[in-house]
Amino acid sequence: MDFDHVLEHLRQLHTGHDDLRAFCDFPDDVVAQPVMARHMGAKDHFDAETGLIGNEYAATRSLLKQLGPLAYWRDTYAGTNVSERFMDEFGCFSLIGHNGFFKSDQMNAWMVYMPAGLYYPWHQHPAEEMYLCLAGEAVFKKDGAPDQHMGEGGVTLHASNQPHAMETLDHPVLCYVVWRNEFTTKPVLTYDDAT
């Protein structure tokens, strides 16, 4: 894998979207770092996924697929009351940040994948967050705002510790997710019973 190419791709993706650029400058302190690959069921679901509608970000989707076998797939909600299916099928790995292909003190970035018909319970974190929908579609929920049905190219912003949730219906979804300001505190479920 040519990580200079991966970084350049991420830079283009990020700076090519007005809302992302406004949310956070693409960092100028990015350094590549080794990653220990960590497999999860979600990787296999992502590999086999054929339902991610949309073409605008096809090159990014393809790059994320190539990174899949090398990535540290995260089990952020292990030990909580999320469903077994969620633990198996919710996909996330870091691009920039802890256990990611790159590190930066300015910004963290992830890929997030959910197959069709999956519910991501309410959760929150101190970092401010922006989601860019790369392909597919989902219902994005955040406290104090109406549900947002979002597809390719759509963005949503979460304030610090603003509870948010997400649900896929008939389609899967693939997102690029960026954090700014507070990287050290992991997300926690808003409700212990994972509603």
**Which residues are CB-contacts of 7 (< 8 A; sequence separation ≥ 6)?**
30, 32, 102
Under a CB-based contact definition with an 8 Å cutoff, are residues 67 and 174 in contact? no
Q: Which lies closer to Fe ion via its Cβ, residue 34 or residue 144?
A: 144
| Angstrom distance (rounded) from CA 195 to CA 189 | 9
Q: Which of residues 124-153 bind Fe ion (CB under 5 A)?
A: 129
Nearer to Fe ion, 7 or 119 (CB): 119
Q: Both tokens of residue 57?
A: 């970000």
Q: What is the DSSP letter of 29?
A: -
Cα first-last separation, the chain: 39
CB 129, min distance to Fe ion, A: 5
* Binding mask of the shown chain, residues 90 to 129, with x at each position contacting Fe ion by CB under 5 A: ---------------------------------------x
**Minimum CB separation from Fe ion for residue 161, in Å?**
10
Distance CA 62, CA 67 (A): 9
C-beta of 129 vs 137, nearer to Fe ion: 129
Q: Among residues 76 and 106, whose Cβ is nearest to Fe ion? A: 76
| Cβ closest to Fe ion, residue 41 vs residue 163 | 163
Closest residue to bound Fe ion by CB: 129
Nearest distance from C-beta of residue 32 to Fe ion, angstroms:
25
User: Whole-number minimum distance, CB 166 to Fe ion, in Å?
Assistant: 9
Cβ–Cβ < 8 Å for 121, 188: no
Q: Which two tokens stand for residue 122?
A: 């309410």
Residue 123: CB minimum distance to Fe ion, A: 6
- The site that binds Fe ion (CB under 5 A) totals a number of residues, namely 1
Minimum CB distance to Fe ion smaller for 129 or for 152:
129
Minimum distance of Fe ion from residue 5's CB (angstroms): 28
For residue 41, which phi and psi values (nearest 5 degrees)?
-50, -35
Helix (H) or strand (E) holding 88: helix 84-89
Binding site for Fe ion (CB under 5 A): 129
